Amino acid sequence: MKKKILILLPVLLLGGGYVAKGKLMPAKVVKPKLAGEIYIMPKQFMCNLQDGHYATLTVALELAPGQSDGATAADAGTSTGSTVGTLPEEAVIRAIITNLITNQTSNTLVTDSGRNNLESEILSQIKSQTDVKIDEVFFTDVAVQ
């Protein structure tokens, strides 16, 4: 009988500890890699560069939740034929991006470090010149000719 108790007691303690750990310890929270909403600017950018080349880019923004519903004016049922999205201050953001891209050379846009620096500069300007809550800028498509 003592042998059964000696075997049963550690098993119960281990099992009880495992159950208590599962119930008392908070669940591990997995942080998403992208916390905001991805908003793809509805119209591509085509800009002349300083060195005589031109670039075509598609730009996406990681916005804080609630900044835009992701619909464009065409999706919203307007008949203007506009390609402006529903992002507040989108015209200002487009101007910032266009101005910064046209000040670049083709070499800037064909290197990883050049694109990363330009994305950071665009992010900084958008944060300082608009009220849009933005976390990241992405060039999703880039062509330089």
Q: Is residue 63 within 8 Å of residue 130, measured between CB atoms?
A: no
**For 58-86, what is the mean pLDDT?**
63
The predicted structure's pLDDT at residue 30: 78
Residues 84, 41: Cα–Cα separation, whole Å: 8
User: What structural domains does the chain harbor?
Assistant: 37-144 (3.30.479.30)
The predicted structure's pLDDT at residue 60: 95
77: left (phi over 0), alpha (psi -120 to 50) or beta: left
Name the residue type at position 27.
A
Predicted confidence band at 68 (pLDDT cuts at 50, 70, 90)?
low
Residues 114, 103: Cα–Cα separation, whole Å: 13
The predicted structure's pLDDT at residue 33: 78
**For 44-64, what is the mean pLDDT?**
94
Quick one: tokens of 115? 């694109």
Name the residue type at position 75.
D
The predicted structure's pLDDT at residue 113: 95
| Token pair 């923004």 in the structure block, residue | 61
The predicted structure's pLDDT at residue 88: 79
Of 59, 69, 60, 66, the C-alpha closest to 36 is: 66
Predicted confidence band at 72 (pLDDT cuts at 50, 70, 90)?
very low
pLDDT, one tens digit per residue, over 2-47 is 677 777 777 777 777 777 766 777 777 777 777 788 999 999 999 9
| Token pair 């470090």 in the structure block, residue | 113
The predicted structure's pLDDT at residue 44: 95
Q: How many CB atoms lie within 10 A of CB 135?
A: 14
The predicted structure's pLDDT at residue 69: 57
